[in-house]
């Protein structure tokens, strides 16, 4: 999916890396004549690309960024206490990932725009991608919670 560039870093070899607002990093090398990104060689050029969109395949693959940290969790939900709002499509805000962690039973987790429809269990965690609408549905008796992740401060 398309994600805006929020900044730039350099990897250990000095190659430029775009930081996207989902937390993922993406190399943006200038390596003519194969890869032409002359803008990446100057600070002015890089600044001019802030807010531009890059396609992030890691978001499409539900990859929670490795360096993100947990900062908050919901109470335990059961099939009876799960708020109606979570059963309908909803999403986390920009840059906020989450894990749906099932302690008992099973939960159906649907992400229509990513064509995902999965069954979560104590063996299978669900990953919530920032800003992507999703919904959950208890399958019988269950207990689970949601843990939120963001970039380290």
Please identify, using beta-carbon distances, which residue of 46 and 58 lies nearer to Zn ion: 58
- What is the smallest separation between the CB atom of 58 and Zn ion, expressed in angstroms? 5
Please identify, using beta-carbon distances, which residue of 56 and 100 lies nearer to Zn ion: 56
- What is the smallest separation between the CB atom of 114 and Zn ion, expressed in angstroms? 12
Which of 5, 18, 21, 22 binds Zn ion (CB under 5 A)? It is: 22
- What is the smallest separation between the CB atom of 93 and Zn ion, expressed in angstroms? 15
Three state DSSP letters for the chain:
CEEEEEEEEECCCCCEEEEECCCCEEECCCECCCECCHHHHCHHHHHHCCCCEEECHHHHCCCCCCCCEEEEECCCEECCCCCHHHHCCECCCCCCEEEEEEEEEEEEEEEHHHCEEEEEECCECEEECCCCCEEEEEEEEEEEEEEEEECCC
Task: Name which of residues 53 to 92 contact Zn ion (CB under 5 A).
Answer: 56, 58-59
- What is the smallest separation between the CB atom of 96 and Zn ion, expressed in angstroms? 13
Which residues are near Zn ion by CB under 5 A?
22, 24, 56, 58-59
């Amino acid at each position: 999916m398309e994600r805006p560039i929020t900044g730039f870093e350099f990897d250990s070899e000095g190659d430029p890396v775009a930081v996207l607002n989902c937390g993922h990093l993406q190399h943006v090398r200038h390596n003519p004549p194969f890869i032409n990104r002359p803008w990446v060689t100057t600070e002015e050029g890089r600044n001019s690309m802030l807010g531009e969109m890059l396609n992030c395949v890691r978001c499409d693959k539900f990859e929670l960024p490795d360096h993100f940290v947990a900062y908050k969790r919901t109470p335990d939900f059961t099939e009876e206490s799960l708020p109606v709002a979570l059963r309908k499509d909803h999403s986390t805000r920009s840059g906020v990932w989450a894990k749906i962690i099932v302690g008992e039973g099973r939960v159906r987790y649907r992400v229509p725009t990513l064509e995902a429809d999965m069954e979560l269990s104590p063996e299978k965690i669900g990953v919530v991608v920032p800003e992507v609408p999703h919904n959950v549905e208890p399958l019988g008796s269950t207990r689970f919670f949601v843990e939120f992740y963001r970039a380290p401060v």
